[in-house]
Amino acid sequence: MGAAGAPAAAAQRLDLPKREGARPPLDAPRVLTVRESEDYALIDSGAGEKLERYGPLRVRRPENQAIWSPRLGASDWNRADAVFTGDTDEEGTGRWRFPIEPLGETWPLSHEGLSYLGRFTSFRHVGVFPEQSAHWSFACEAIARAGRPVRLLNLFGYTGLASLLAARAGAEVTHVDASKKAIAWARENQEAAGLTDRPIRWICEDAVRYAEREVKRGSRYDAILLDPPKFGRGPKGEVWQLFDDLPYLVGLARELLSDRPLFVILTAYSIRASFYALSALMGEAFRGLGGRIEAGELIIEEQGEEPRLLSTSLFSRWIADNA
């Protein structure tokens, strides 16, 4: 993950050019909604928790955004196959409890026909963020419409679903993550998906350091995914602080765009900011490139006759005129 945030490290950063020209226009705020499918459903939420279905399993885990009361009773919540307990910090050490029967560390999942592995991790995640499927669909459609070879860079790629879906859609993918465990998991997912023949490079490296080297090498990409954490550490102790380091990373993304770019997608979790702030950041970075900026929230719709909407993250994406 991430870049060094200390002043000494910042002084060594590339001197990115100042951009001129008109800012891309901002579309009306958008809410991208993920709804129930065979692969996933948000069954209920409330009192700081959410009850989800991942494939055949019901999973109960913390959710800070669920400040309302649950609609279902205790009997429904107690039917969960897996319950996360203990420390709920991103870097914390939590525990999973299996009330019905013992479960293994992993279990098979799928997304629109792409197979992958879920895993009960010690920091409450299971290897997939369902709300991201709105971005995945957008990216895959843009890649397919391009009708030409598309190079995609996925920074902070985690367990690789976005990379695998993009590769299946026809992209040549470079996937970067600082975690050796995440890279190993992503390779497992590539095997499970039957996509070992697709052009994917798995890079275990600090995202910002890798982007800097790619700029120096003159590498260019048609599409870029940015899904940074609020805080993180690289494999050599690099420290990532989102508010300190994100503007620089977005500037690097601009430098890495090809002459025929398609899009840059940015998602931000667990931050005290507005999507307007992200859109302004993107607008400044992509001055003079034309296109447009979309920004808003990613949400998940609950099951039920009057479904509630659970907000999960903020996003902003720059979209080229020809995408």
Residue 222 pLDDT: 98
pTM, full prediction: 0.91
Q: How do 171-177 and 150-155 pair as beta strands?
A: parallel
Residue 4 has pLDDT above 80, yes or no: no
Q: Tell me the percentage of the chain whose pLDDT exceeds 90.
A: 79
In this predicted structure, what is the pLDDT of residue 11? 42
Torsion of CA 288, 294, 295, 301, to 10 degrees: -160
Report the chain's mean pLDDT, rounded to a whole number.
91
- For residues 214 and 159, membership in a common domain is answered with yes
Same domain assignment for residues 98 and 81:
yes
**Is there a single domain that holds both residue 151 and residue 168?**
yes
Question: d(Cα 183, Cα 201) in Å, to the nearest integer?
Answer: 10
Distance of CA 320 to the CA centre of its chain: 20
Three-class secondary structure of residue 97 per DSSP: strand
Q: Let me know whether 140 and 286 are in one domain.
A: yes
User: Domain holding 52: CATH number?
Assistant: 2.60.40.1180
- The pLDDT tens digits of the residues spanning 281-298 come to 999 999 999 999 999 999
Pick the last residue of a domain from 119, 142, 177. 119
Q: Give the residue among 69, 73, 77 at the shortest CA–CA distance from 51.
A: 77
Question: Are residues 296 and 275 in contact, defined by beta-carbon separation less than 8 angstroms?
Answer: yes
Query: What is the per-residue pLDDT for 7?
Result: 35
> 102 and 163 share a domain?
no
- Tell me how far apart the terminal alpha carbons of the chain are, to the nearest angstrom: 29
β-pair partners for 291:
none
Q: What is the pLDDT of residues 76-114, one digit of tens each?
A: 999 999 999 875 554 445 689 999 999 999 999 999 999
Tell me which of 85 and 69 has the higher pLDDT.
69
Location of structure tokens 């900011």: 273
pLDDT tens across 34-44, in order? Answer: 999 999 999 99
Range of the domain at 50: 35-119
Tell me how many domains the chain contains: 2
Find out whether 20 and 285 touch, Cβ atoms under 8 Å: no
CB 293 within 8 A of CB 263: no
Residue 33 near residue 134 (C-beta atoms within 8 A): yes
Percentage of residues in the chain having pLDDT higher than 70:
94
Angle subtended at Cα 249 by Cα 248 and Cα 255, rounded to the nearest 5 degrees: 95
Residue with tokens 């601009």: 254
Residue 67's Cβ-side half-sphere holds a number of Cα atoms within 13 Å equal to 3
For residue 94, the model assigns a pLDDT of 61
Closest CA to 163 of 111, 238, 229: 111
pLDDT at 16 over 70: yes
Q: Single out the residue in 87, 119, 151 at which a domain terminates.
A: 119
- pLDDT at 323 (0 to 100): 81
Average pLDDT over residues 232-241: 74
Domain end residue (candidates: 92, 119, 146): 119
